[in-house]
Amino acid sequence: TSIGGRVAVVTGGASGIGRGIAQALIQRGAQVVIADIDSAALGRAAEEVGAIGIRCDVADEADVRALAERVLAELGGVGILVNNAGVGPAAPIAEMSIRDWEWILGINLWGVINGISAFLPLLRANPDGGHIVNTASMAALAPTRGLGAYAVGKAGVMALSEVLADELADEGSGVAVSVLVPGPVRTAIRESQRSRPDRGRLVDLDLDRAGFDWVRWETPEAVGALVADAVERNERYIITHPELWHRVEARNLAIRAAFGVNP
């Protein structure tokens, strides 16, 4: 999908990966709307990267519909939708309250569903098609202890992205779908509960202190460039850390063994 001259909407665009994606799309000639729940960060980021900032809580269906209507009215349509807003605090599943589940899945899974529901009609109406990017995580392909609810939401985003990509390809609407599968990226994700009204029982994930010293940290800017490349080349999976394949493979081998297929 071409980027130049298109209108792009990036959720969670006020910080981290979303901000990096917004920058990369702007560099390649898109007009970018960043949508975020954090008004203060949104205003700053919009000014710094040269985007339009619109406050939106992706977990709120009405908010996302209002965002789509406003973008349509003010910018005439949307060519690229990046469902990226997400939160990442952690807790063992046994310790999570229902409210903790609702909060994480409301943003990480329902946020993407709300985005697709509100924006897909606009994308399909484009004579020149469009592109959807959904931000999943390595946790979708290799679920880990402590990140249960996070992995559940991201596995949902992965499945949604794959099925939607196939269905849109079948109908020939020219709307493509990519799913971003980041490993560790230096962002503000460890302070995810900054936007949570009621603090629950989750703890902020601190990979630095959790003994993940093997981690290669990627920058939001580099991830943004990878995403823009994948949009231009219509690539379905966007992988930031190829060296983490062994974690996906270990899980796949266990599943293959259960199927009784010899390696």
List of residues contacting ligand NAI (CB under 6 A): 11-12, 14-18, 36-38, 41, 56-59, 84-88, 107, 135, 137, 182, 184-185, 187-189, 192, 195
Catalytic residue among 115, 150, 182, 226: 150
Instruction: Kindly tell me the burial class for residue 106, based on how many C-beta atoms sit within 10 Å of its own C-beta (0-12, 13-18, 19 or more).
Output: middle
- C-beta of 160: minimal distance to ligand NAI in Å? 13
Nearer to ligand NAI, 7 or 22 (CB): 22
In the complex with ligand NAI, which residue's Cβ is closer, 22 or 129? Answer: 22
Least distance (Å) from ligand NAI to the CB of residue 159?
16
The region that residue 146 occupies, defined by phi over 0 for left and psi between -120 and 50 for alpha, beta otherwise, is left
- How far apart CA 192 and CA 126 sit, in angstroms, is 35
- Measured from the CB of residue 155, what is the shortest distance to ligand NAI in angstroms? 12
Q: For the stretch 170-205, what's the b/e string if a residue is b when 16 or more beta carbons lie within 10 angstroms of its beta carbon?
A: eeebbbbbbbbbbbbbebebbebbeebeeebebeeb
Locate all alpha helices (DSSP H) within the chain, ordered by sequence. Answer: 16-27, 39-49, 61-75, 98-108, 110-124, 138-141, 148-171, 220-233, 245-259
**Diameter of the chain by CA atoms?**
57
Nearer to ligand NAI (CB atom), residue 18 or residue 148: 18
Question: In the beta sheet, which residues pair with residue 134?
Answer: 83, 179
CB 181 within 8 A of CB 223: no
Q: How far is the CB of 34 from ligand NAI (least distance, A)?
A: 9
The label of the residue with tokens 């230096």 reads: 186
Pair of tokens at residue 26: 């702007």
Please report how close the Cβ of residue 262 comes to ligand NAI at its closest, in angstroms. Answer: 33
Question: Which of residues 107 and 123 has its CB atom nearest to ligand NAI in the complex?
Answer: 107
Q: Examine the residue annotation and report whether 150 is marked as an active-site residue of this protein.
A: yes
Beta strands 80-83 and 237-239: pairing type?
unpaired
Closest to ligand NAI by CB, 31 vs 193, is 193
Catalytic positions: 150
